[in-house]
Structure 1
Amino acid sequence: MKRSLYITAALALSTGLLASSGAMAQGTGTTQAPVRNIVLVHGAWVDGSGWKPVYDILAKDGYHVSVVQEPLTSLDDDVAATKRVLDGQDGPVILVGHSYGGSVITEAGVDSHVMGLVYVAAHAPNVGEDEATLGKGKPSNTSKQPGAIEKTNDGYTYLNPSAFPKDFAADLPLKQAQFEAHSQMPTAAKVFSQPLKAAAWTTKPSWGIVAGSDEIINPDLERWYYERAHSHTTVIPGASHSVYESRPQQVAAVIEDAAKHVQQ
């Protein structure tokens, strides 16, 4: 009988120690697995195909990667397109945005699937702000060039094909940049001036990449956004606005860092 009582007590003590050590592990965050779902959001004038070099790296490393194809017809439409993809995810997500896509993920990122945000040479306005107004405080080189940004009769914008290779993609092969210049997605002018209704970076961790030689967004504006958001910031010297295509290894490394550490 005494032996039975000793065994029962020993089992109870063992169970208690296991439960205690499990709680301690949870408290330190060491048991959290990396986020495996990555959603990529493109910017103005381009489509999601530019993410392919980053997609290939992330997919090879075992991540489930989805690319949003925004219509670029309004901020509301682009946020809705992003949320549609987020709704299809089976777990936590790292949401990544390039350029104007930064505004999109800032608003869409309040979605419950999203654990963290990665800004790639991107805008990150606050609630009530818009990127056009913020851009006037730290203007880009492109915005200072007469005729660089063209506008259609029905209110859509595009980058003059002659300016595209130098301004958007200076570190891409010329033929690739010229192709992208002539396969642009015209973008509604109103997307740049619509104030944001939500700002996920105020409540969720973020990472930011500054493209050191960006002509489309002033690198100083990118730095200001990320400092304000307390983002983990990486500067890539010499990178153009097409940093996600020209430096995919470095961009993917930042995204993977976010996926590994966002829940710690």
Structure 2
Amino acid sequence: MLLSLFLTSNFYSQESKTVKNVVLVHGAFVDGSGWEGVYNALVKKGYHVSVTQHPLLSFDDDVKAVSRIIDQQDGPCILVGHSYGGAIITTAGNNPKVAGLVYVAAHAPDEGESEADNGKKFPPAYQSLIKGDDGFDYINVNNFADDFAGGVEKEKAHFMAVSQTPTADAAFHAVIKNPAWKTKPSWYVVAKSDKIINPDLERMYAKRAKSTTIEVAGASHCVFMTHPKEVSDLIISASKNSGK
């Protein structure tokens, strides 16, 4: 009977340490709708999931938009960022409500670094970035499916291309201060066939941050869409281990 009480008490103690709030942060050129598969997987497991919709007009504005959602959480949360969203969570993750960080094929710059400069050190495979005269960048529609959305169903990838959100070029050059991964536990998904961010850069980020890391074979930059189970499973692992 005493053993049963001990085991029951231990079970509830472990459950109470699980972070049940998750905030999903999209990257450049897309919006939060791409997280739908991950969202559904997490909600079915009982998580409270928020999806940000930041404007991609400037890095500071995007951090403020994400921070607003973090502040709305009723307790600690796991903050998840894809691509450029990784730079955002590296700053916004300093919010005391953030218990852990999950990077999904994402940038995780250090103090004094920008994702644009890091990308020059580890050049990506794609050549389809178009820099507009107005200071906003986008991906060539004709190359979007192959470069950005490999593995995504053809019609959906085309719709993503024609509905993409141009992103302020200056956002990619934002210099990071006080990176949250230095004080918060982190997890990382490396997309092994990523053309937008060099997988070796992703590995460097993960190793430097001492992140718990998985690598997804054949996954493109849209690994969060094509492999929602692997991504959601890692988020769940983060939710159970961020308090340890």
Find the aligned partners of 1:68 and 1:158 in 2 and give their Cα distance.
20
CA contact (8 A) 1:32 1:263 kept: no
Paired letter, 1:215: K
Point out where structure 2 has 5 or more consecutive residues left out of the alignment: 1-5
The separation in 2 between residues aligned to 1:70 and 1:197, in whole angstroms, is 20
C-alpha distance in 1 between matches for 2:220 and 2:59: 24
Q: Equivalent pairs: percent with the same residue?
A: 53
User: 5 Å matches for 1:114-133?
Assistant: 114-133=98-117
Between the aligned partners of 1:33 and 1:110, the Cα distance in structure 2 is 20
In structure 1, C-alpha distance between the alignment counterparts of 2:93 and 2:57, rounded to whole Å: 19
CA RMSD after TM alignment: 1.3
Query: How far did 1:153 drift?
Result: 2.1
**Superposed displacement of residue 152, structure 1:** 2.0
TM-score, normalised by the number of residues in structure 1: 0.87
2:97 corresponds to:
113
Distance 1:84 1:30 in 2: 29
1:208 Cα deviation after fit: 0.2
- Whole-Å separation in 2 of the counterparts to 1:128 and 1:234: 27
2:196 matches 1:206: no
**Counterpart in 2 of 1:17?**
none
Q: Aligned residue for 2:22?
A: 38
Task: Give 3-state SS (helix, strand or coil) of 2:17's partner.
Answer: coil
How far off is 1:31 after superposition?
7.0
Q: What is the number of equivalent residue pairs in this alignment?
A: 234
Contact 1:44/1:187 (<8 A) preserved? yes
Which of the pair has more CA radius of gyration? 1
For structure 1, the residue ranges without an aligned partner over 5 or more in a row are 1-20
Structure 1 CA distance, aligned partners of 2:196 and 2:232?
21
> 2:165 matched to 1:178?
no
Q: What secondary structure is seen at the aligned counterpart in 1 of 2:142?
A: coil
Q: Which residue of 1 aligns with 2:138?
A: 158
Other structure's SS at 1:180 match: helix
2:242 alignment partner AA: V
- Cα displacement string for residues 23-61 of structure 1 (whole angstroms, at most 9, x for unaligned residues): xx7xxx857420000000000000000001100110111
Superposed CA offset, 1:83-104 (max 9, x none): 0001100000000000000000
- Match of residue 210 from structure 2: 230
Measure how far apart 1:127 and its partner are: 1.6
